[in-house]
Amino acid sequence: MQAVVDFWRAYQSTLAFAIVNAFFGLSTYAVLSAGILSFASVTYAAIGGFVGARLVLQTGIDPLIALPVAAAAGALLAYVIALIFLRLESHWMALASLALILITRVVVINVPGVTGGVNGLSVPVGVSLGVLVILLAVAVAVFWRLSVSWYGIAARAVREDPAVASSLGIAPRRIQTIAFVISGAVGGLGGMLLALVLQFLSPDTYFVNIAFTMIAAVVLGGSYHWVGAIIGAAVFTALPVIAQAVIPAFQEVANGVVLLLIMIFLPRGLVDPRAIRLRRAARTSGDAS
């Protein structure tokens, strides 16, 4: 029993960060599912985190009440960004979103009244692991419902070929705008949750490291299904911890080797709907014969 307690204490924070990273991965997947590669989720996380944290500090309200505000702030900003970014070609959009991360850091440093500037912002409240699990369960339910709705079908069509989708009566720009708003809401929520887990925010909290986490989680888990973002976030978060415990002297090497093996042998990620469908079809044809 004591071993279980010790294990829980040792890896409780790892699980908390894995859940937060899952929100970042889902935020990235939301736009990728509509054929858009964007790192703007970092900016959504920043506005959600700082607005939510400042609201809690100024009013003393329960952090759970501030979570919808953080999500709404991220969604509103995402809508504004969509109006600008959707005028760009895909590769220029990705570059613009990277530039947006740099702009976000400059804004954070130069608005000390909201962000604390270079000194950062202390957040003297936290969030329990149970609440994180419940919120992730809600996010899973929402993304599952979206995947089987008219929006999910339209988003997949837009991702495969916007011209063909348009000929079928689907408005690609509208679908991609919705994808941006969903990404903004999830990213803003994830930013607030990160603030509650860390209990301190600085200009470096929402920077390129989160962008790398987002894209790595989606690529590792699989960019063709929302479950991939969650599994990828769990793997990406747990891998350094496991490597540190097993082979601490070669931790970084082990991380790189595992990531390379996944990308080489599972290029579509750990969750590949196409491979699953092919296996089912092969099994069905084998049973029929």
- Separation CA 188–CA 183 (nearest Å): 8
Decide: 50 and 114 in contact? Cβ < 8 Å. Answer: yes
Smallest CA-to-CA distance from 114 within 57, 69, 65, 154 is with 57
Report how far residue 116's alpha carbon sits from residue 71's, in angstroms, rounded to the nearest whole number: 21
Residue by residue, pLDDT tens for the chain (289 residues) are 555 455 556 678 889 999 999 999 999 999 999 989 888 999 999 999 999 999 999 988 988 999 999 999 999 999 999 999 998 877 788 889 989 999 999 999 998 888 888 888 888 888 999 999 999 999 999 999 999 999 999 999 999 888 889 988 899 999 999 999 999 999 999 999 999 999 999 888 898 888 888 888 888 888 888 888 999 888 888 877 777 777 666 666 766 677 677 777 777 777 766 666 656 656 666 665 5
pTM: 0.88
